């Protein structure tokens, strides 16, 4: 039997949980031509949320065309222009012949190099001449608006890992180019998001950056406990397996409502259960989860200094006093109060911790559990 829980990719169908208010907010932004700047830690379900909202919007209105771009493997400005052009042409044209005609139609000053393989739907590619790109970048950045006006559609451009443009040559100039052109669009809406929250905060919330106040800055919260508990219970019942409320609550609370890890732990509990969940099955499943992720966590630890590891130990011990207090610094060998500030900034930059309600927290609940149950016990 197929597991009723999904993780590690886009979560959809019966495995997509709640987020009704977040979906409503996105749909309102799409309809109102308000750009969205979505911020959250890794694996909180940003992509799944946006794909779900896109599906709902497209089902309601066939004139909505969603263009998805991932900057993860895009390393420079010129490559971005080629990918943007290709994806916009594909989502607004119904067949390969139309792709070619529209590429030439909407790029007047640029002659694109078009490649079509055996399967045009998967082997279609557009390359733009590097020399002419820099002369005509504005034409490329406005192609979505030209297409939208010509075809009487609304285009929503969704860009994942948006923070990666910081690695481009002269990223500030590139951001200025994007903002200068995109801010005038009436029939194109932009949804920008990524997995490096603090880098995105610098792009979206720094008054000196081009994308400051570009749209609705949207902080994604965790899914509430009641919704997750109800979802897990429903999925077990649907597959004719029994789980008591106390065990669904333990799955959620032990993973601190983290969508990815709640799904993963629930999946492990489900596959370890024949008919009814027991406390032993819960414990075995937690061990399985930690074992599956231990190699990744060991590599993570290898990148940290001794004082950074000591700081994480203090967090797992749930100390109540100030991290810069003399007692804490001495007990956990953190150096000086100035060094504590540097440690905190370094761990935040690595997206290992964040500060919530003035208290440092480890973002990955399974990593925290691994530190507490395995690493720190072996390294006392």
Lookup: tokens for 284: 């075995």
Q: Give the DSSP letter of residue 275.
A: S
- The 10s digit of each residue's pLDDT in 117-164 is 676 666 677 777 766 777 788 888 999 999 999 999 999 999 999 999
Q: What is the mean pLDDT of residues 26-43?
A: 93
- With tokens 């709902």, the residue in question is 56
Quick one: 70 and 202 in the same domain? yes
pLDDT at 193: 94
Q: Answer with the one of 169, 189, 219 that is the final residue of a domain.
A: 219
Instruction: Indicate which CATH number applies to the domain containing 146.
Output: 3.40.50.300
Q: Answer with the one of 192, 219, 246 that is the final residue of a domain.
A: 219
Q: What is the mean pLDDT of residues 245-260?
A: 96
* Model pTM score: 0.86
Residue 335 lies in a domain: yes
Quick one: 41 and 186 in the same domain? yes
Quick one: 200 and 260 in the same domain? no
pLDDT at 126: 74
Quick one: 142 and 290 in the same domain? no
Q: Answer with the one of 189, 219, 249 that is the final residue of a domain.
A: 219
Lookup: tokens for 110: 């640029």
What is the DSSP code string of 17-28?
---HHHHHHHHH
Domain hosting residue 286, numbered range: 225-299
Of 319 and 46, the one with more pLDDT: 46
Give the number of domains in the chain: 3
Residue 114 lies in a domain: no
Quick one: 207 and 326 in the same domain? no
Quick one: 283 and 310 in the same domain? no
Mean pLDDT over all residues of the chain? 90
Lookup: tokens for 183: 């801010």
pLDDT at 123: 66
Quick one: 253 and 355 in the same domain? no
């Amino acid at each position: 039997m197929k597991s009723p829980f999904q993780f590690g990719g886009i979560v959809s169908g019966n495995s997509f949980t709640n987020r009704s208010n977040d979906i409503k907010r996105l749909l309102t932004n799409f309809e109102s031509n308000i750009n969205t700047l979505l911020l959250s830690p890794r694996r909180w379900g940003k992509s799944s949320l946006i794909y779900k909202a896109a599906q709902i919007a497209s089902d309601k209105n066939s004139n909505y065309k969603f263009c998805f771009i991932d900057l993860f493997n895009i390393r420079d400005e010129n490559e971005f222009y080629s990918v943007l052009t290709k994806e916009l042409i594909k989502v607004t044209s119904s067949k390969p012949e139309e792709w070619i005609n529209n590429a030439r139609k909407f790029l007047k000053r640029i002659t694109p190099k078009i490649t079509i393989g055996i399967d045009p739907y998967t082997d279609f590619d557009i390359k733009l001449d590097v020399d002419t790109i820099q002369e005509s970048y504005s034409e490329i950045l406005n192609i979505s608006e030209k297409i939208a006006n010509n075809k009487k559609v609304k285009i929503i451009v969704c860009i994942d890992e948006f923070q990666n443009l910081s690695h481009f040559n002269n990223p500030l100039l590139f951001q200025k180019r994007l903002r200068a052109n995109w801010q005038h669009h009436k029939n194109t809406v932009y949804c920008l998001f990524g997995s490096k929250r603090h880098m995105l905060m610098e792009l979206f919330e720094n008054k000196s950056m081009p994308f400051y106040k570009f749209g609705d800055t949207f902080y994604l919260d965790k899914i509430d406990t009641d919704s997750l508990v109800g979802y897990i219970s429903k999925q077990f019942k649907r597959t004719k397996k029994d789980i008591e409320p106390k065990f669904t609550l333990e799955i959620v609370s032990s993973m601190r409502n983290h969508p990815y890890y709640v799904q993963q732990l629930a999946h492990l509990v489900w596959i370890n259960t024949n008919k009814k969940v027991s406390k032993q099955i819960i414990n075995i499943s937690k061990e399985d989860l930690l074992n599956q992720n231990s190699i990744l966590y060991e590599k993570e630890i290898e990148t940290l200094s001794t004082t950074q590891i000591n700081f994480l130990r203090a967090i797992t011990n749930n100390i109540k006093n100030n991290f810069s207090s003399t007692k804490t610094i001495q007990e956990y060998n953190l150096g000086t109060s100035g060094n504590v500030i540097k440690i905190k900034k370094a761990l935040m930059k690595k997206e290992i911790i964040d500060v919530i309600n003035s208290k440092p927290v480890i973002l990955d609940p399974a990593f925290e559990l691994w530190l507490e149950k395995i690493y720190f016990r072996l390294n006392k």
